Structure 1
């Protein structure tokens, strides 16, 4: 650790345990943000940094949009909190309606949570509850996917497939979970633009899992339409359609985790829309409030809700014993309404779609650089995979991050993958700048071998 353990402005860093961060490395190489406005952060060295990953995929509108702040302030003066159980605010019902109206046809019920992690665990519980009330209590098994990230709840890490997230907590994880293989194969699809043409057959692995465990034991399959946290793994053409067909065939629920891909990241309301595949549930979070305040949720197929409610016993009885103190909190509701208003007034989903080829062209212009193993992209998201430093996995990407900061941009590190996902408010020249900075940073980091 550094000798002083303080920021350049003298703030003591010793008390704060940073999440998903190599804390020892961070204290030697601190990265302190001081303010944010529009598509930029400003750090404690006075540098203006283009926000190349929209916060953590959660700030597509950029930062400090006064319309969101005004809505939150107005709601605070009106009602700062409403009990989540036995009552709700009118704006909570209104936001649920707006979210449902954006979702694929037939998904019209919204259960609010506070984060993507909570949304995933909620969706898993809904799946178990649904099968139980339908007389299929044996359907308790969940199927996730290798390299998946579904948050940090115990359900989420159980169905998740990132080894580092799981190994410390193996004794706590859900029983009865199996995993599909991921779809990334660099020997077949490296440097693909958009959806790879190879790999739809990997969906057939689900049939093998069904044969192994018996369909009557499987409650749900959960997957991200595009795997974001593990480095933007794009599904092969036809893969998601085949997964949907197999789930339907065996009466297995299909859950799309759209915490990253929801609300425009793929140039559509949801990845389900972009890929033309309708799941039975969709989890969401992040962009719904532009990252300003925590909010997440699950959008549920009507008959799943209806079945659970209809089998809830006497009408004064609670049908589904689940929820959070802050479910449907009025202040995140106000933020959500403001964000969706801005999406509509500023046509942001279409703006994101228009920026997609700019990002694609900028990233793939790096092809041929030394040490680049892959470039992949879909929607307004992309990643470059780097040759690691021998014996030091992840260090190369950290050096790219630091080189990007020196040159005026922020990116996201995931192992030795660098992910980008600029704000929807970006101008084409800013996306081109991001790609140029990343290319120069890769060149600089490739000169480091220890």
Structure 2
């Protein structure tokens, strides 16, 4: 069979038997991916595309890294699986490597299968440790698709699953471009966002609040980097009222922002920190909760009522050990930081100057968002929050036709390539984005909004 014949069969079987996430099934037309390497993937027709999405912002060391693939194969030959109640060398080593890179006293790892269940368990730990029911999380956030995690999520994907009985209260976080606080500067936005959160805590009753859960930088919801002092202000508010601070680094962790963990760059040590995705580039599902002394001490002599059959799965942990060692040896964290500072930031700034459809660009490392608007002065988004539009659909299809695989959400295109991407590859992607944005400009001028 030819490559195209194989791809056609793959597509036929997918449409007949696979039920896809977050989608109305009848209208789906999924791209067939046949192989991947480094920063690129190949579709069913043999076309090569530059992966500016890192899939779901998780292939931090790129696709098919030979050392990580070899580590998985070697572990499969040695010990393919073992239950979590037993000590295992590769699980222990993965926990050591992760804890050594975590801020402060976050020295214990509870392994999960991904980010959603990491947040589920972090919230359970906080509620048990405090004896309080409520958890606060921000609008414009995403914490996972399981029941508690989706209720904690602050974007419209929550709506069909939210019965209003999960003990979750949402608040507005800092987002200067679309400020809810009429702020004009980052300092004003920070001060007013913290005052708003303090008022929510007061009105909800601090004695009823187990935890505040925040993404270190909201990812899927828009890559809004918190202003200086905001995370520290939340930490102080939690300390004042005995509230557990949970920082979600599922998307930001392991190099994405040019640091092992973004919260550490602000000098913040949460009580619990959740991770997944970049810990092993998603080669085998793995996530976890990093615990500090406060929560560990609570469970020192009482059982923690939770667990997973595949907690710390050997194949996933072997991939994590190999990935972390590669990131250390090859300077992947430094590469992500320098790519962001020297290539992406100035490149996106030039695109913003050239294209009236660009309302704002923002980000760090290899973690950026381009906000698209039909009217720059009015900041009118080309698609609603949590929704789509003809312009966004056209932008995505145009990018793919040019050989660029984008990450798009609402009215944004996110620039989130692997942390291992080269300067030349990054410039290639930005050049393709230039053409995509030219197409968006034309559509807006034609009145296609």
Distance 1:329 1:235, change over 3 A: same
User: How do residues 198-347 of structure 1 correspond to structure 2 at under 5 angstroms?
Assistant: 198-201=188-191, 202-310=193-301, 312=302, 319-347=303-331
User: How do residues 117-136 of structure 1 correspond to structure 2 at under 5 angstroms?
Assistant: 117-131=116-130
More divergent stretch after superposition (400-409 vs 438-447): 438-447
Question: 1:160 maps to which residue?
Answer: 153
- TM-score of the two chains, using structure 2 as the length reference: 0.89
1:111 aligns with 2:110: yes
Query: Are the aligned partners of 1:88 and 1:328 in contact in 2 as well (CA < 8 Å)?
Result: no
User: Could you tell me which of 433, 437, 442 is aligned with 2:432?
Assistant: 437
Other structure's SS at 2:352 match: coil
Other structure's SS at 1:332 match: helix
Aligned length: 422
Question: 1:360 maps to which residue?
Answer: 345
Within 2, Cα distance between the matches of 1:302 and 1:430? 43
Within 2, Cα distance between the matches of 1:145 and 1:389? 23
Tell me by how many angstroms 1:7 deviates: 6.0
- TM-score of the two chains, using structure 1 as the length reference: 0.89
Question: 2:140 maps to which residue?
Answer: 147
Deviations 1:389-425 (A, max 9, x none): 5898343222212111111211111112111111122
Within 2, Cα distance between the matches of 1:57 and 1:214? 36
Other structure's SS at 1:221 match: strand
Query: Are the aligned partners of 1:149 and 1:161 in contact in 2 as well (CA < 8 Å)?
Result: yes
User: How do residues 63-78 of structure 1 correspond to structure 2 at under 5 angstroms?
Assistant: 63-78=63-78
More divergent stretch after superposition (430-439 vs 72-81): 430-439
Other structure's SS at 1:46 match: coil
Other structure's SS at 1:223 match: strand
Question: 2:45 maps to which residue?
Answer: 45
Query: Are the aligned partners of 2:34 and 2:43 in contact in 1 as well (CA < 8 Å)?
Result: yes
Question: 2:378 maps to which residue?
Answer: none
Distance 1:389 1:272, change over 3 A: closer
Deviations 1:82-126 (A, max 9, x none): 112x32312212211111111012111110000000100010011
Question: 1:379 maps to which residue?
Answer: 365
Distance 1:196 1:59, change over 3 A: farther
Question: 1:17 maps to which residue?
Answer: 19
1:170 aligns with 2:154: no
More divergent stretch after superposition (87-96 vs 257-266): 87-96
Tell me by how many angstroms 1:15 deviates: 2.2
RMSD value, Cα: 2.1
Tell me by how many angstroms 1:355 deviates: 0.8
Deviations 1:419-444 (A, max 9, x none): 11111221112112212211211221
Other structure's SS at 1:438 match: helix
Question: 1:417 maps to which residue?
Answer: 412
More divergent stretch after superposition (11-20 vs 413-422): 11-20
Query: Are the aligned partners of 1:257 and 1:283 in contact in 2 as well (CA < 8 Å)?
Result: yes
Within 2, Cα distance between the matches of 1:341 and 1:187? 40
Other structure's SS at 2:245 match: strand
Deviations 1:218-277 (A, max 9, x none): 100001111111121111222111111111111111111000000111111101122221
Distance 1:158 1:48, change over 3 A: same
